[in-house]
Amino acid sequence: MHISSQDVIIKGVTKAGKPFRPSDWAERLSSVLSSFGADNRMSYSPYVRPMTLDGVKCVVVDKKLEQVEPQGYRFLIGFAQDNDLQLEDGDVWALAHQETAAVTN
């Protein structure tokens, strides 16, 4: 699992700390920008991927999406805001987990 400074993390937790439902929300949201290939299999966008981070369902959005597909980027961020979900920059997350790894090593 690689989170970079170019990522925005939409966490499946509201700002009040409550889990977001339904439990498959991250996969559903990520599928909005997915496509079907010649093999008739769905593929997530290379800019949007569902993940579980620290036991929390998340959608990781590459900030490059804002340049490539601005409407899709606005939709994802708007979804997070409309549902009062926590947003975190990838560099903040990576820094916090780097410090945690240094403490446990």
- DSSP states along 20-58: PSSTTHHHHHHHTT-EE-TTS-EE--TTEEEEEETTEEE
Query: pLDDT tens digits, residue range 45-102?
Result: 999 999 999 999 999 999 999 999 999 999 999 999 999 999 999 988 888 877 554 4
Are 8 and 80 spatial neighbours (Cβ–Cβ below 8 Å)?
Answer: no
Are 14 and 20 spatial neighbours (Cβ–Cβ below 8 Å)?
Answer: yes
Using DSSP, state whether 91 is helix, strand or coil.
helix
The pTM for the full model equals 0.87
Q: How far apart are CA 15 and CA 27, in angstroms?
A: 21
> What residue spans define the domains of the chain?
7-104
User: What angle is formed at CA 91 by the lines to CA 46 and CA 9, rounded to 5 degrees?
Assistant: 50
Q: How far apart are CA 57 and CA 64, in angstroms?
A: 22
Supply the pLDDT for residue 18. 96
The superfamily CATH assigns to domain 7-104 is Uncharacterised protein PF12112 family, DUF3579 (3.30.70.2340)
Please name which of 102, 84, 87, 103 lies closest in space to residue 53, comparing C-alpha atoms. Answer: 87
